[in-house]
Amino acid sequence: MSKFDAIVIGSGQGGNPLAFWLADKGYTVALIEKAELGGTCINTGCTPTKTMVASAQVAHYVRNSAAWGVHSSGMSVDLAEVVARKNKVVSEWREGIASKIKARSRVRLYREHARFTGPHRVSAGAEELEADKIFINTGGREASPRIEGLETVDYLSHVSIMQLQRMPEHLLVLGGSYIGLEFGQMFRRFGSRVTIIEHAGNILPHEDTDVTDELHKALEAEGIEFMLGASANRVEKRDGNIVMTVARGSHTATITGSDLLVATGRRPNTDDLGLEAAGIETDAHGFIHVNNRLETNVAGVWALGDVKGGPAFTHISFNDYQIIAANLEGNKLTTDHRPVPYALFTSPELGRVGMTEGQARAAGHRLKIGKIPMTWIARAVERGETAGLMKIIVDADNDRILGAAILATDGGEIVQIIGAVMISGAPYTVMKGAVYIHPTFAEGFWWLMEDVKPVA
């Protein structure tokens, strides 16, 4: 039995900084990672996907350069080179984490599978470890839907599609949310024909339809095809292609593609952790129950990141580490009332923070809303990137901002300005009197705030 002050299971974007912080505070730490260092974000999530999105953006600019008066010829995409560049970036991040671990003598890395054998005991391979404090940061993985014949076809996940060395002729994408839309646009820009199949009546069904309708139009303008309100019933391999049968209302149809990407959701990595041996409770989907300080029902055991459910974003995992660290030092910090910013990295990019209009209405708020098209903003016109809009949702009773959506070039960057105002608790009117640099996208906030008015 090896005794540590703390055990961190999973080297993701919450587990790593937590392990380093604990070690720097004098704790002896066992860091257990069965796969690659860095967790989902570095290996199969943010880092590789956004590296490939950047390559797709360049391809889009080159292919359409004549619109800016720049003429090019002989443009082609070498997918193997795109993947090699992505792998290089991922490798560099992994090496950076390894060097940080090596620099801390108080952190011992176990490259093993972790499994609870008791409330404060964990096996790491053949070795038994014990600690008063245990932190679970094991993340999640793709969840496959139950569709007849799916297991008989060689379908792609968001992980395997990033290892392709050949260009799909016609990529079918099952799922019209974040993963499906990002990869759909990416491969369309690389040169594939792309069809996105979504069971809801619109893409991103949890967002406001006025926002998603604008994104839908922008993606269609690039040649992406959509089948909305379509549920996949059956998949089969036929003559080397993938044939999917879908139901739309009372009608059925078939669609044929060369490849299929399944992007219909994720599940937590809890089913092989032995949580029952520790008495750690989960919900029906396997997500670990935590309170607003991220403590599980077992004293001295915390969960952070995707494994606990809720918003599945790297920055939330990192903020979970900040909350845990603050509470270990005696400061009261919780997950309550934190406005969560996030982004969809398509073009235009959707930056979001706080409530949607639909959520605000469902919560019973009286509302003021401002909304302007990107065609009003000089910088968007100058760049030739006018697709999208800015939208802000305000509580009519106190003028505080409830949420915002920025669908624009760099929308994820821009929306964080509104997020900072939300954290301060200031009314939206402070943004009316601000001075914005001209010409920038943020300058649109002046027009947006002027447009805020009560709505029924």
Instruction: Kindly list the structural domains of the chain, giving each domain's residue range(s) and its CATH number in brackets, ordered by start.
Output: 2-142+267-328 (3.50.50.60), 150-264 (3.50.50.60), 341-454 (3.30.390.30)
Structure tokens at 217: 């139009």
Question: Could you tell me whether strands 127-136 and 121-124 are parallel, antiparallel, or unpaired per DSSP bridges?
Answer: antiparallel
pTM: 0.95
pLDDT value of position 452:
98
Taking residues 66-79, what's their average pLDDT? 96
Q: How far apart are CA 227 and CA 222, in angstroms?
A: 16
42: pLDDT confidence band, cut at 50, 70 and 90?
very high
Residue 127, C-beta contacts closer than 8 angstroms, at least 6 positions apart? 2, 110, 112
pLDDT value of position 372:
98
380: pLDDT confidence band, cut at 50, 70 and 90?
very high
337: pLDDT confidence band, cut at 50, 70 and 90?
confident
Structure tokens at 48: 């590789």
- Percent of the chain predicted with pLDDT > 70: 100
pLDDT tops 90 at residue 379: yes
Taking residues 10-34, what's their average pLDDT? 97
- Percent of the chain predicted with pLDDT > 90: 97
pLDDT value of position 28:
98
pLDDT tops 90 at residue 303: yes
Structure tokens at 276: 């029952």
> Which one, of 384, 430, 429, 432, lies nearest residue 408 by Cα?
384
Taking residues 17-31, what's their average pLDDT? 98
pLDDT value of position 1:
87
Residue 267, C-beta contacts closer than 8 angstroms, at least 6 positions apart? 140, 141, 142, 143, 285, 286
pLDDT value of position 274:
97
Element (H, E) at 86: helix 79-102
333: pLDDT confidence band, cut at 50, 70 and 90?
very high
pLDDT value of position 356:
98
Taking residues 411-424, what's their average pLDDT? 97
338: pLDDT confidence band, cut at 50, 70 and 90?
confident
What residue spans of 388-441 are helical by DSSP H?
A: 411-424
What's the pLDDT tens digit per position in 203-255? 999 999 999 999 999 999 999 999 999 999 999 999 999 999 999 988 999 99
pLDDT tops 90 at residue 192: yes
Taking residues 75-82, what's their average pLDDT? 97
Taking residues 88-96, what's their average pLDDT? 97
438 is catalytic: yes
